[in-house]
Amino acid sequence: MIMEQLLDIISRTNKTSNQILQEFLESEKLLWPLAAANYNGLKSVEEKQFQFDGFQIKVQFNPERMRSSAAKVDNQSIAERKCFLCSENRPAEQDAIAFGDQFLILVNPFPIFKTHFTISCHSHIDQRFLPNVKFMLEIAAAMEGFTLFYNGPECGASAPDHLHFQAGESTFMPIATEFEQMKSTAQQLYSVAETQVWAFDNYLRKMISVESNSMEEALKIIGIYYTHFQEMQLEKVEPMMNALCTFSDRKWTIHLFPRKLHRPRQFFAEGIDQLLISPASVDFGGVFITPRKEDFDKTSKVDIEDIFKQVSLNQDDFQKLTEKIRQDLN
C-alpha cells in the first residue's frame, strides 16, 4: 500500500522530513526482517581511512553491498531479470511514501547509510540525468538533511533500466565537510550573488560543483555542463557521470563527477590482484565500498589513487570541459 505524499505528511504533522523518514525507516524495520537484519548489520561494518592533502577517503567493508557492487548491468542480464524497482516485483513488506506523481521513497534494504532510501520512479523508464535532474533538486529540497545521489547507467546504477535516485544522511560522506575547505584550492568558474560554480582537479577525482539559491540558475548551469560533456562522449546514451545534491539554508549544493570508465581493471583482475570495487556516487563522495573482507584489508592509498585516475575524466579533457563551461557562463 502506498502511503500519502511526503509534503502532505509534513504539512499535516508539522514534523520535519527527517523525523518522518526516520519513523518510516523504523516502521519498515519492524515489519521487514531482511531490512531489520541489514540495518542492524551496519553496527559491525568495518571502516578505515586514508589522509590525502586536505581531505580523506574512507574505506568501508559492507558485505550486503555485494549485489550492488557486482551487479551485472549488460543488456542481456537486465533483459533476463525482473526489475526489482517495479511495484509488482518489490517485496510485500516494502512500503512507500509518495513524492509527487512520479516518485516513491523506499527504504533501501541493503544500506550503506544508517538511513538509506531509494527514490524510484513509478514508471519503468531508463536511468537518465538531464530530463530528471529537476526532480532531484525538488526532492533534495524536501529531504533537507539528506544527500541525494544519482548513478549513471554506466556509472554504478544497479538498475540502469529504471529511473531512480538514492538518499542518505548528509554527514556520512567526507565531501560534506571538505567542500568548504577545498574551495580555496579550486578554480572558480562563475560567481554572482545567488550562484557560484567551481572546478576541482586536485581532489583525486574530477568535480564540478554548483551552489545556488535559484533552481532555475542551477538547472541552467547543469544543462551547460551536460551539453559540453555529452559532446565529448557522443557514443554514450548519456555522458558518464555521478551526481550528489543537498539542500540546506535555502541553497542547493550539487557535485558533478565526469567519468571515462565504469569499473577499474582491478575489478576484472583474477586472484590476489582483484579488488571488487565498482565506484559510484558514494565512492566519489569519499567512502569506498568493499563487499569482501579481503578487498577491505588490502585496499591501499595507492589503490584509491589509481582507481580514481582510471575512472575519472583525464586532466586535459577536464580542462577543455571547464573552459567551455566558463566561456558559456561568462
Interatomic CA distance for residues 182 and 186, integer angstroms: 7
Average pLDDT of the residues in 77-101: 89
C-alpha cell at 151: 548513478
pTM for the whole thing? 0.94
Q: What is the mean pLDDT of residues 86-108?
A: 94
The pLDDT-based confidence of 66 (bands split at 50, 70, 90) is: low
List pLDDT tens digits, range 265-315.
999 999 999 999 999 999 999 999 998 999 999 999 999 999 999 999 999
Q: How confident is the model at residue 1 (pLDDT cuts 50, 70, 90)?
A: very low
Mean pLDDT, the chain, rounded, equals 93
Higher pLDDT: 298 or 81? It is 298
For residues 212-249, b (16+ Cβ closer than 10 Å) or e, as one string?
Answer: beeeebbbbbbebbbebbeebbeeeebbbbbbbbbbee
Spans of all domains in the chain: 2-329
Give pLDDT tens digits for 260-276.
Answer: 999 999 999 999 999 99
> Cβ–Cβ contacts within 10 Å for residue 297, how many?
12
Can you give the pLDDT at residue 3?
Answer: 66
**Chain-centre distance of CA 57, in angstroms?**
16
Decide if domain 2-329 falls under CATH 3.40.50.720: no
Of residues 86 and 81, which shows the higher confidence score?
Answer: 86
Residue 128: per-residue pLDDT: 97
Q: Is 44 exposed, middle or buried (0-12, 13-18, 19+ CB in 10 A)?
A: exposed
Task: Determine the Cα–Cα distance for residues 255 and 285; give it in Å rounded to an integer.
Answer: 9
- The pLDDT value recorded for residue 72 is 58
Q: Which residues pair with 230 in a beta bridge?
A: none
Sign of the alpha-carbon torsion through 274, 76, 280, 185: positive
What is the structure's pLDDT at 168?
Answer: 97
Q: What is the pLDDT of residue 75?
A: 67
pLDDT, position 304: 97
